[in-house]
Structure 1
Amino acid sequence: MGCRQFFLCLTLLLFLVAGDESSELSNERAALLEFKSGVVSSHPVDRLASWGSSSALPVCNWTGVECSNNAGNSRQIVQIDLSGMSLHGTISASLSNISSLLVLDLSHNFFRGRIPWQLGRIPHLKQLSLSWNLLEGGIPPELGFLRELVYLDLGSNKLFDEIPQPLFCNGSSALEYVDLSNNSLSGEIPLKGHGCELTRLRFLLLWSNKLVGTIPPSLSKSTDLEWLDVESNNLTGELPSEIVSKMPKLQFLYLSYNKFVTQDGNTNLSPFLSALVRAENLQELELAGNGLGGEIPPIIGDLSTNLVQIHLDQNLLYGPIPPQISNLVNLTLLNLSANLLNGTIPLELCRMAKLERLYLSNNSISGEIPAEFGNLPHLGLLDLSKNELSGSIPDSFANLSQLRRLLLYENRLSGTIPRSLGECVNLEILDLARNEISGGIPGEVAGLRSLKLYLNLSGNYLDGALPLELSKMDMVLAIDLSSNNISGTIPSQLGSCIALEFLNLSGNSMEGPLPASIGKLPYLKSLDVSSNQLNGSIPQTLQTSLTLKQLNFSFNMFSGNISNNGSFSSLTMESFMGNQALCGTIKGMHSCKKKKHPYNSITMPLIVSLFAVFSLCLFVYRSISKSKLRSQLGIFSRQDDMDYDEEKGKKNDHKYPRISYKQLIQATGGFNPSTLIGSGRFGQVYKGVLQDNTRIAVKVLDSKTAGEIKGGSFKRECQVLRRTRHRNLIRIITTCSRPGFNALVFPLMTNGSLERHLYPSHGLNPGLSLVQLIGICRDVAEGVAYLHHHSLVRVVHCDLKPSNILLDDDMTALVTDFGISKLVNGVDELKLVDDSVSFESTDGLLCGSLGYIAPEYGMGKRASTQGDVYSFGVLLLEIITGRRPTDVLFHEGSNLHEWVKSQYPHKLSPIVEQAILRYAAMALPSSLNSVWEDAILEMIDLGLMCTQYNPSTRPTMVDVAHEMGKLKDYVTSPPSLLIQATQSKLDAAASSIKAPVNL
């Protein structure tokens, strides 16, 4: 009886303790549930599935919720981090009932509506992050009550109205980070009056709003300011010399695209630059697009030697370029374009060994181009266009191995095009238009296969024939050779420029026929061959082209019948005038005389007979091919337990360990939802632990969904996995199959999928570094390259995306999920195995996941290795932009490739800057900025190449793996390793701002 009383008392005690714990967070639980009631997740997996009134999980274990580590029964919710979870809906005011909250991060979602003013009642809130949503209305003045707030980020929303003064002037100096950028905020910067001294402020980002007035003098009290960005507003007044003179820690100063003026009536830039001399850590200075007047003073050479970028473009600066600017030895970008500068190019500029981009265009600079430019080993862009430069193009440009863009158009350059330019093997743009250059087009230059944007040699005195080497430009988008003296015929080999969209050969002396191959260019949109001496008929291929929109054949000697059909349907007589022998149905063109054709009665039967013979031959050929194919694929009819060692080139009688259905039930707790770590079209993945403590991932295939594919997804994945061995491909432990149940067993990857790191949720590291991401992409490329080109059974993955890339303990990437993969012929890697082999056929299935699917699949094309290349390119662009491809598709009606391409090249800076911020969380040292910017631009270029619409112009995965390997070597070279050490310190500093308390 005593024992029963003891256990009864113990049970009652435990009940009371549990009751206390439950009541402790009951209000918080109710607040979270009310918040959830207004939220919807667009992600395939409900990110808030653990949030529920019936959930057995304690509130502190809900996704994104952190509690304090206090002992006893006084645990409190101190952090809610739901960033990047694809959540839609409104932000509930109920969150203000969680009075213990220190961090609230709802950034990178799709929340709409207004910011609840009640959030200003959370007394100890230190971090509020609501950026990158769709929030509207004004900023609640009540947020000024958050006197302990350290980190405020409301950027990239749709906020309007004025910035409320209490936000900055509440008598508190706790704020260190303020980002209100990329909204539609108006009025002045409210830093006037008592209590407006933000003495601890380090970051102030107000760019891209509608702010007016001057920069408040009280900002000079923020002596710890490191980053000031007010560009793209309507701010006025003189450049704030006195204010910046009191900011010795300033590293980034962005004042571009406002209405600032220089001192002394917009004639004197010296006082402002003198004030900046004290900022010894200054790395980037942007003053573009203001209309600043005066000369560039020599004191610019006394600025911080840490400077890596200077933007003074689009102003009214005049006079010569001061040679003292060469004292800035670490400068990588100098932009002085669109001013009134004159004089010659100082030779001292050619001693700035780290210079990568130099913009001097649209000025009145004269003299010759210094040959010493060839001494700049890192120069990748040189823009000297729209000046008064004379002389010849230096042969020394051949030394510029990194040169990608050479823009010399609209000058007075003479001489010939140097053959040595052909040694610039990375050149993407060559524009020499509207100069006085003569001679022929060198074959070495015409054969630059690296040109992938445009070649413009128009408006010169070039002569001779078109070199056949032009056909090697299979990536170039535009060729303009108009207004020269080029003679000879148009070579049919131009049809090899398969990426070409614009071709202009007008205003030359070319003769002969127009090749039909031009009309077969799959992406050609504009063709102008006017004002030549071309003859013959206009090829029918041009009229049947599905892409041509602009055509001009005028003032030639074409003949024949022209109908207003196909691509000619929208043309007028202006496109054909000056061709006396043309006739047809174009409005204004004289009609043709009808001719009788007595042989029609013979022609049609002959065509039908030939078609029947062709069909018979094709049937015989396919029958023979299928027979050979079955013999080649005999390996798949053998025992499944037979493995193959590709390194030794022989079969092994190794059998996979047998795991029963019961063992899987035990390992996963009966496939308990709490062990679910992922799901997809073909099933779910659970984590588990076997009896020998082996941690496993069990992929259970959905029999209904997998059954949609002829032959079954399960058998296909088994076949593929057992015959592919590579360090970057997931290794299969075993399989388990019974009626109605099919499962694959893999080792558990403790670091989860790449998707969970790109869009982190509860309990995960908030992000990966760029070095890690480049390594991961290199691993993926090598794994897929092995599948495409080196495996005994060559495979097309068909569903490359972040959730199908797993990370092991060392953050090595392993490609997984071959559920809809297709096998390709070992003889011809681009030819699919015949559909008669049932286990690999995917007829009727659109291969892949929305946003990552190659465009040709949507037109009924079969799966191919180029489709995987496209998906990999989307992955690269997703990593850099931080945008899911489905987000771009649903919200902008475009795809990620088109969106990035629309920003290319002049609007890439914000994307690069955001990527650097995303992976660094803070301002970076100049050396890190340079390395990371290069790496990001390389990934963008590679991503765009991989996602080209024409599959044949995409690189192979072997090429991609090679490029990613070089990029990995670049960012992990000894100088970069020093940078990474610096970065770890910066990350620690960022943590002190964003999470100033120990949770």
Structure 2
Amino acid sequence: MAKLERLYISNNSLSGPIPSDIGNIPHLGLLDLSKNRLNGSIPNSIANLSQLRKLLLYQNQLSGMIPTGLGNCTNLEILDLSRNSIVGMIPYEVAGLRSLKLYLNLSSNHLHGPIPLELSKMDMIQAIDLSSNDLSGFIPTQLSSCIALEYLNISKNIFQGTLPDSLGQLPYLQVLDVSYNNLTGQIPQTFSRSSTLKFANFSYNSFTGNVSNDGIFSSLTVESFLGNTRLCGMIHGMPRCRRRHSHLHLLPVLLIPLSITFMVFVFAYPLALKARIGRPVMILRGGRNIDEGADGKGEYNYPRLSYKQLIEATGGFCSSSLIGSGQFGHVYKGVLKDNTNVAIKVLDNSKSVGGDLSGSFKRECEVLKRTRHRNLIKIITICSKPDFKALVLPLMSNGSLERHLYPTEDHSVNNRLLTLARVISICSDVAEGVAYLHHHSPVRVVHCDLKPSNILLDENMTALVADFGIARLVKFAEDDSSANEPCSYNSTDALLCGSIGYIAPEYGMGKRASTQGDVFSFGVLLLEIIVGRRPTEVLVDQSSSLHEWVKSRFPNMLDPIISHALTRYVPPTATTESDQTWRDVVAEIVELGVLCTQSNPCTRPSMLEVCIEMNRLKQCVTNPSLQIILE
């Protein structure tokens, strides 16, 4: 038991108290005892589990108080104690756990007292559910510090006072439920102006005032406002507000802001303009031109291949040699005179717009010549002429990951090569390669286009990351206020980075390429592999992105997704007793995908952290001695 890392015994008929010896498993990271008949209090010995990342005790008959020692579990990312009979107040030690990243669920218990102010320290938490308790007091405005929060449910308590308008300014909030409380005052307009809010429930409180039908409120029904007898507005089914005939009292309210605006424009604008003009601009220049030198000798010391030799190797770039196409050109299979099989990536001059083609070629050469890693494609040589540019790369005998995920009649692919263990190994390889680019490469690189077609598989099914045509070479500004934001060069920052479905949301708001964007794309890749659908298919069919579709089913409605994944990627030793182990592994992959695709880039894990997690899963499924089989 000393090496046990995961313990899943949920959905059984276990009864009695949780043994205190559970705290003597030093490496335990995941503990799921949910959906049983366990009673008694949560043992204080759980505080000894310093490696604990997920604790699921929901839907039992547990009583007593939440042990304050849980605050010592500083690696805890998920805590679900819902649907028990737990009493007492929420310990401030637990409320201050900044490590919680996915969700905190304490709903359907008998907790009382106020929301601890320490809860605001959870600046990476995505979901908080405190509903169906006896919590009281005011809703703290400090909750707005939970900047990654997407779901907040504090319904069916006895909160009083006003609803803080700062909650409506949470940048990623999508669902809010404050129903069945004693809240008063007006519903803040910040909620109607929120650009992310998709659902809100204000029913059965004592709110007053006018409710507009602007923004998100235009899609809400009267059910979201029932039980507030002093509300009025334009929502269908809601009483209309009475009009006041005198508007003279509004005159001072209008004149004062107009006067202030005029004064600001007259006096502050020239100062702001002067400050803007005088602001220094940081320019990072990197590398020499690959075409430098009249003799054509640049920084590259690769074997020379002429244009004629490439024509001979590919049969004149005939259609039968074509093995793929991309944003900037085509890839052909070729055989050199020494019988070396190669892939020749030829850039299409007809797709050159504003120098993008030349820039793509230079970027890819720049990346490939500076990086050395077993999970990154290596360059054999280049061929560069004014009207022809090509990269000669090793030919990967098993093609791209895309061919294996979506086999067609044109591609004879052995589907049995993609077992679940193999899929995890491939994802681990990709994570290793990208982590090297982000953290260990001589020049830091943001790939910008992680997707299945850019992941190649060699004869051993080892994954290699390829296609650096839109990659960004980055350096970090040491003297800038945003020290963790990369400054890119040799790039077109104004363009969206990547392929539809894999692009990080911040890129759509004009943010520059970043390592966090690659983490997002990797998360989409994980979810795509498990769900078995292209991200663009989910966009069309569900009017939603792939990660949002999965997140709406996380964590309690994943069974169909997991079952489909197990059917698709048959485990190498599929037995009844090991089925639960495989299900748990798939659930962990989904969880990692959800973490990587958080809306707030600052709350996503780094690629190094992703590597550690993928390597742990890889060891679990490839080393029988590490597999945990629960009967």
Pairwise same-fold verdict (TM > 0.5):
yes
Structure-2 separation of matches of 1:601 and 1:902? 45
Which AA in structure 1 matches 2:33? L
Give the direction of change, closer, same or farther, for the CA distance of 1:970–1:745 in structure 2 (3 Å limit): same
1:183 counterpart residue number? none
1:366, distance to aligned residue in structure 2 (A): 8.5
- CA deviations 1:135-169 (Å, max 9, x no partner) are xxxxxxxxxxxxxxxxxxxxxxxxxxxxxxxxxxx
1:595 counterpart residue number? 250
1:895, distance to aligned residue in structure 2 (A): 3.9
Secondary structure at the residue paired with 1:958?
A: helix
1:382 counterpart residue number? 33
1:869 counterpart residue number? 519
Q: 1:115-126 counterparts in 2 under 5 A? A: none
Alignment pair present for 1:416 and 2:89:
no
- CA deviations 1:89-128 (Å, max 9, x no partner) are xxxxxxxxxxxxxxxxxxxxxxxxxxxxxxxxxxxxxxxx
Asked if structure 1 preserves the Cα contact closer than 8 Å seen for 2:154 and 2:178, the reply is: yes
Select which of 715, 733, 742 maps to 2:380.
733
Asked if structure 2 preserves the Cα contact closer than 8 Å seen for 1:897 and 1:944, the reply is: yes
Find the structure with the greater CA-based Rg.
1
Which AA in structure 2 matches 1:635? G
Alignment pair present for 1:441 and 2:91:
yes
Q: 1:947-966 counterparts in 2 under 5 A? A: 947-966=597-616
1:526, distance to aligned residue in structure 2 (A): 1.4
Give the direction of change, closer, same or farther, for the CA distance of 1:606–1:684 in structure 2 (3 Å limit): same
| TM-score normalised according to structure 1 size | 0.53
Structure-1 separation of matches of 2:402 and 2:132? 49
Structure-1 separation of matches of 2:15 and 2:398? 59
- CA deviations 1:584-634 (Å, max 9, x no partner) are 98845566773332435522312434345435433443xx21xx31xx314
Secondary structure at the residue paired with 1:965?
A: helix
Asked if structure 2 preserves the Cα contact closer than 8 Å seen for 1:495 and 1:521, the reply is: no
Alignment pair present for 1:716 and 2:340:
no
1:324 counterpart residue number? none
Structure-2 separation of matches of 1:946 and 1:765? 27
Give the direction of change, closer, same or farther, for the CA distance of 1:451–1:397 in structure 2 (3 Å limit): farther
Q: 1:63-82 counterparts in 2 under 5 A? A: none
Structure-2 separation of matches of 1:892 and 1:427? 29
- CA deviations 1:493-515 (Å, max 9, x no partner) are 44324233223166335557725
Which AA in structure 1 matches 2:349? S
2:589 counterpart residue number? 939
1:729, distance to aligned residue in structure 2 (A): 1.7
Structure-2 separation of matches of 1:408 and 1:977? 25
Q: 1:838-917 counterparts in 2 under 5 A? A: 839-841=490-492, 843=494, 845-858=495-508, 861-890=511-540, 893-917=543-567
2:397 counterpart residue number? 750
Asked if structure 2 preserves the Cα contact closer than 8 Å seen for 1:554 and 1:577, the reply is: yes
1:392 counterpart residue number? 41
Alignment pair present for 1:662 and 2:308:
yes
Structure-2 separation of matches of 1:379 and 1:795? 34
Give the direction of change, closer, same or farther, for the CA distance of 1:773–1:518 in structure 2 (3 Å limit): same
1:568, distance to aligned residue in structure 2 (A): 4.8
Which AA in structure 2 matches 1:871? S
Secondary structure at the residue paired with 2:362?
A: helix
Secondary structure at the residue paired with 2:526?
A: helix
1:84 counterpart residue number? none
2:263 counterpart residue number? 606
1:405, distance to aligned residue in structure 2 (A): 5.0
Give the direction of change, closer, same or farther, for the CA distance of 1:462–1:773 in structure 2 (3 Å limit): same
Q: 1:136-285 counterparts in 2 under 5 A? A: none
1:635 counterpart residue number? 287
Secondary structure at the residue paired with 2:140?
A: coil
2:11 counterpart residue number? 359
Structure-2 separation of matches of 1:743 and 1:353? 49
Structure-2 separation of matches of 1:366 and 1:878? 38
Give the direction of change, closer, same or farther, for the CA distance of 1:415–1:452 in structure 2 (3 Å limit): same
Alignment pair present for 1:811 and 2:468:
no
1:785, distance to aligned residue in structure 2 (A): 2.0
Secondary structure at the residue paired with 1:635?
A: coil
Asked if structure 2 preserves the Cα contact closer than 8 Å seen for 1:824 and 1:831, the reply is: no
Structure 2 stretches of 5 or more lacking a match? none
Bigger shift: residues 670-679 or 929-938: 929-938
Alignment pair present for 1:508 and 2:158:
yes
Structure-1 separation of matches of 2:572 and 2:616? 27
1:875, distance to aligned residue in structure 2 (A): 1.9
Which AA in structure 1 matches 2:405? L
Asked if structure 2 preserves the Cα contact closer than 8 Å seen for 1:727 and 1:814, the reply is: yes
Alignment pair present for 1:476 and 2:126:
yes
Structure-2 separation of matches of 1:928 and 1:553? 47
Structure-2 separation of matches of 1:898 and 1:889? 10
Structure-2 separation of matches of 1:746 and 1:501? 47
1:799 counterpart residue number? 449
Which AA in structure 1 matches 2:386? P
- CA deviations 1:206-236 (Å, max 9, x no partner) are xxxxxxxxxxxxxxxxxxxxxxxxxxxxxxx
Structure-2 separation of matches of 1:563 and 1:765? 55
Structure-1 separation of matches of 2:6 and 2:193? 51
1:734, distance to aligned residue in structure 2 (A): 2.3
Secondary structure at the residue paired with 1:658?
A: coil
1:672, distance to aligned residue in structure 2 (A): 2.6
1:884, distance to aligned residue in structure 2 (A): 3.3
| TM-score normalised according to structure 2 size | 0.80
Q: 1:444-463 counterparts in 2 under 5 A? A: 444-447=94-97, 449-450=99-100, 452-458=102-108, 460-463=110-113
Structure-1 separation of matches of 2:401 and 2:128? 37
Which AA in structure 1 matches 2:311? I
Aligned length: 600
Which AA in structure 1 matches 2:619? D
1:541 counterpart residue number? 190
Asked if structure 1 preserves the Cα contact closer than 8 Å seen for 2:147 and 2:170, the reply is: no
Asked if structure 2 preserves the Cα contact closer than 8 Å seen for 1:584 and 1:590, the reply is: no
Asked if structure 1 preserves the Cα contact closer than 8 Å seen for 2:446 and 2:515, the reply is: yes
Asked if structure 1 preserves the Cα contact closer than 8 Å seen for 2:210 and 2:241, the reply is: no
Which AA in structure 2 matches 1:668? T
Bigger shift: residues 521-530 or 717-726: 521-530
Structure-2 separation of matches of 1:910 and 1:572? 33
Structure-2 separation of matches of 1:915 and 1:559? 50
Asked if structure 1 preserves the Cα contact closer than 8 Å seen for 2:130 and 2:154, the reply is: yes
1:965, distance to aligned residue in structure 2 (A): 1.7
Secondary structure at the residue paired with 1:700?
A: strand
Question: What RMSD over aligned residues (CA atoms) do the two structures have, in Å?
Answer: 4.2
Secondary structure at the residue paired with 2:33?
A: strand
Structure-1 separation of matches of 2:154 and 2:103? 15
1:471, distance to aligned residue in structure 2 (A): 2.9
Asked if structure 1 preserves the Cα contact closer than 8 Å seen for 2:162 and 2:183, the reply is: yes
